């Protein structure tokens, strides 16, 4: 009981700061409506998180705001969507996501090894960029027994590249697709690294793009199970072939790894509400309330994401590692544009 109360108190400062920034961001849209509350919240978070609010005691609260509020926001988005929107994606969208993910992982591994990064770092970068950023890296790290340094470095670089793509892709989509919903959603939802960054990026375009981008992104998140299973079969010893036989894991290690490969709770919640919305005549007030609450949670989570972006972390990783991340990001964009042109 005491530990729970202590944890709640540690979360409160970062959570309150994130909420305050979200309210300020929404107020500022009255003066700069073309930018939108999402982007203002992120930039305010980055600015304050690297100056006045660069405080260690805010960390647990901002992490909570990013993870918990964003997950609940995604659940509530299930109430906003219906089958008509999902039908816009269809089986073609699923094939697009699989091709985008597989080819990104292969490229990340190849370019990583070419640049003399170790196997585990290359695999972490592949999973983080192809699937869902830090969450994917956290899932596959114990599966391939990655060390803490590789895990920390890959999380930092993937988040930095995701932030760059988050701002760049809405601009690119306006040039290439005039912000057409399906193509823009495929580009953002199929490419940008973390769920928070996908939401932030799509918010800069439109509500319809935000909703469909989340669908593309959730497809990628669901496939983390397959990625983790595939990675568990690889040989990560530097001196041996990646596809050579690995030593049999102990029973406890297999159980530990398999326990990680579960469907995230917020995806289940999303689909439950999605099915309710699609098959039951829900009151318009309920749907509208879900949209309002989801939007507030999103902006608060995006403020928290901004607060966690540290320029010192970017500089610390060095130009070689940053170049590695940028090459993967560039490849993802080119691949997505080619696949969208071909498939949609």
pLDDT of res. 110: 96
Rounded CA separation 193/203 (Å): 15
Over range 159-164, report the average pLDDT.
85
Please write the tens of the pLDDT for every residue from 51-105. 888 888 888 888 888 788 878 887 887 787 666 666 767 789 989 999 999 999 9
Which among 296, 126, 322 is positioned nearest to 228, based on CA atoms?
126
pLDDT score of 192 more than 90: yes
Question: What distance, in Å, lies between the first and last C-alpha atoms of the chain?
Answer: 54
Which among 51, 23, 18 is positioned nearest to 37, based on CA atoms?
23
Please write the tens of the pLDDT for every residue from 113-134. 999 999 999 999 999 999 888 7
DSSP string, 125-191: HHHIIIIITHHHHHHHHHHHT--HHHHHHHHHHHHHHHHHHHHHHHHHHHHHTTT-HHHHHHHHHTT
């Amino acid at each position: 009981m005491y530990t729970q109360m202590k944890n709640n108190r540690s979360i409160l400062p970062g959570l309150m700061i994130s909420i305050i920034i979200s309210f300020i961001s929404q107020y500022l849209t009255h003066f700069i409506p073309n930018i939108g509350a999402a982007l203002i919240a992120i930039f305010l978070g980055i600015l304050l998180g690297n100056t006045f609010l660069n405080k260690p005691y805010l960390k647990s609260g901002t992490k909570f705001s990013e993870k918990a509020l964003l997950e609940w926001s995604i659940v509530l988005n299930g109430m906003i969507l219906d089958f008509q929107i999902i039908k816009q994606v269809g089986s073609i969208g699923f094939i697009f996501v699989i091709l985008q993910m597989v080819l990104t992982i292969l490229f990340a591994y190849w370019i990583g090894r070419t640049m003399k990064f170790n196997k585990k770092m290359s695999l972490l970068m592949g999973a983080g960029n192809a699937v869902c950023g830090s969450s994917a890296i956290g899932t596959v790290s114990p599966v391939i027994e990655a060390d803490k340094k590789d895990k920390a470095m890959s999380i930092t670089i993937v988040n930095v590249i995701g932030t760059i793509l988050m701002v760049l892709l809405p601009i690119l989509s306006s040039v290439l697709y005039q912000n057409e919903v399906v193509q823009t959603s495929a580009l953002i939802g199929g490419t940008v690294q973390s769920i928070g960054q996908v939401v932030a990026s799509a918010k800069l375009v439109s509500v319809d793009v935000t909703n469909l981008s989340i669908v593309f992104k959730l497809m990628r998140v669901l496939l983390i199970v397959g990625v983790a299973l595939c990675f568990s079969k690889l040989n990560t010893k530097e001196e041996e072939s990646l596809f050579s036989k690995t030593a049999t894991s102990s029973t406890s290690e297999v159980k530990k790894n398999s326990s990680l490969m579960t469907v995230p709770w917020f995806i289940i919640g999303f689909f439950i509400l999605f099915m309710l919305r699609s098959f039951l005549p829900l009151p318009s007030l309920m749907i509208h309330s879900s949209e309002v609450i989801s939007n507030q949670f999103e902006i608060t989570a995006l403020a928290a994401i901004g607060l966690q972006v540290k320029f010192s972390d970017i500089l610390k990783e060095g130009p070689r590692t940053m170049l590695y991340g940028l090459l993967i990001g560039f490849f993802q964009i080119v691949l997505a544009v080619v696949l969208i042109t071909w498939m949609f």
